[in-house]
């Protein structure tokens, strides 16, 4: 954030930096692959996300 | 690198999570930080913690609140140098499982408020220019099922920023920050339908923990 607010040009950044790899998700071949792989697993992914959320809500 | 000392930064939702951590960091670097949030108790706690910070209760989904916020910051500090559009919420669930109210609330907070606050702040930059930071998400690049609508609002914010860069005056920079999963309150708040316990209200970034960054 500090780097953005002192930058001379507009920036687009992922945080942490290694998440830059997610930009590939907008590339057509990767998008098509995700459509095929993720769609059948969507209900399971929702369940997983809820479990993850509950783990955040519980005291650690 | 130029310094942040003396710059006036308005951070929406600077009372918890990423916003609160950012506010603390910028204040430590000498910025005058203005924060807002809906929960007065949490706002007070954040203001006690962050030196030289100023804040007011504000719901960014309410148009009158947005105008009041921008006016108050400009009056208080005499100018605004940067806007960090951080306030946002998550919605976990397939689109078909959400209510109409949930859909409009999410779009209101994650997109409409961002666009309108930016519109209100741009004239306050004046000839000096300034910085607008949009808090998007990696899900803008890779939308995933339980967060389809959320991802769409974040992709909207990303698109808005890219478009704005091509229409704002020289001297105005429009940045986009796309965090990966960070362990803050929003997911648990969404899943539990209530605010987390007070133990989750203190801010102390620690991480990474199991692939996520913990920001409480
Ligand atoms: N955590 C992640 O994994 C993650 C990943 C990618 C992007 N992001 C984005 O990062 C931003 C911050 O997220 P976070 O994880 O730090 O969330 P958080 O811990 O839930 O904090 C959200 C902040 O926004 C404020 N807020 C929410 N709704 C508001 C409203 N209508 N009006 C004014 N203030 C409001 C909250 O205060 P009150 O509740 O008191 O109003 C709080 O200060 C969001 O835009 C989020 O989408 C988060």
Question: Which distant-in-sequence residues (6+ apart) come within 8 Å of B132 by Cβ?
Answer: B82, B83, B85, B118, B121, B122, B161, B164, B172, B173, B174, B175
Expressed in angstroms and rounded, the spacing between residue B109 Cα and the centre of ligand 1 is: 9
Size of interface A-B (CB pairs under 8 A): 120
Q: Which of A34-43, B36-45, B162-171 has the lowest mean pLDDT?
A: A34-43
Q: Is residue A9 included in any domain, yes or no?
A: no
What pLDDT does B86 receive?
Answer: 97
pTM (two decimals) = 0.90
Rounded-to-integer distance, Cα B52 and Cα B48, Å: 9
Tokens of B31: 């910025």
pLDDT per position as a tens digit, B24-79? 999 999 999 999 999 999 999 999 999 889 999 999 999 999 999 999 999 999 99
Q: In this structure, is residue A5 part of a structural domain? A: no
In ligand 1, the atom with minimum distance to the C-alpha of B85 is 45
Mutation to test the A interface, candidates B18, B143, B175, most A Cβ within 10 Å: B175
Q: Quick one: how far is CA B88 from the chain centroid?
A: 6
Retrieve residue B50's tokens. 């962050």
Number of domains in chain A: 1
Question: In terms of residue numbers, what domain contains A44?
Answer: 17-60
Q: Could you tell me if residue A55 is inside a domain?
A: yes
Please indicate whether, in this complex, the C-beta atoms of B158 and A11 are within 8 angstroms of each other. Answer: no
| Number of domains into which chain B is organized | 1
Residue B201 lies in a domain: no
Query: What is the residue range of B89's domain?
Result: 8-181
Please check whether residue A6 lies inside any domain of the structure: no
Residue B147 has pLDDT above 70, yes or no: yes
| Ligand 1, pocket residues at CB < 6 Å | B 12-13, 15-19, 36-39, 42, 58-61, 86-89, 109, 135, 137, 179, 181-182, 184-186
pLDDT of residue B207: 36
Task: State the complex-level ipTM.
Answer: 0.86
Question: Of all residues in chain A, what percent carry a pLDDT higher than 90?
Answer: 60
């Amino acid at each position: 954030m500090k780097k953005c607010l002192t930058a001379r040009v507009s920036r687009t950044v992922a945080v942490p930096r290694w998440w830059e790899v997610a930009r590939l998700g907008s590339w057509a071949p990767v998008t098509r692959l995700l459509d095929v792989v993720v769609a059948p697993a969507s209900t399971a992914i929702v369940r997983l996300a809820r479990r993850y959320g509950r783990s955040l809500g519980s005291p650690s | 690198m130029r310094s942040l000392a003396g710059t006036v930064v308005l951070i929406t939702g600077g009372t918890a999570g990423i916003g609160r951590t950012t506010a603390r960091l910028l204040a430590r670097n000498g910025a005058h930080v203005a924060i807002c949030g809906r929960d007065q108790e949490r706002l007070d706690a954040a203001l006690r913690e962050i030196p030289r910070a100023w804040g007011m209760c504000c719901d960014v989904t309410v148009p009158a609140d947005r105008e009041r916020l921008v006016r108050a910051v400009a009056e208080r500090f005499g100018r605004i140098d940067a806007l960090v559009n951080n306030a946002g919420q998550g919605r976990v669930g397939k689109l078909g499982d959400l209510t109409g109210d949930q859909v409009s609330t999410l779009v209101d907070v994650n997109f409409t408020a961002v666009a309108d606050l930016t519109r209100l702040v741009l004239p306050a930059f004046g000839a000096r220019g300034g910085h607008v930071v949009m808090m998007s998400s990696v899900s803008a690049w890779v939308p995933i099922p339980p967060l389809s609508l959320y991802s769409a609002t974040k992709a909207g914010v990303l698109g808005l920023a890219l478009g704005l860069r091509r229409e704002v005056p020289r001297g105005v920079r429009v940045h986009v920050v796309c965090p990966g999963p960070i362990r803050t309150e929003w997911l648990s708040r969404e899943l539990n339908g209530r605010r987390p316990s007070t133990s989750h209200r203190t801010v102390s970034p620690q991480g990474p923990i199991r692939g996520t960054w913990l920001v409480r």
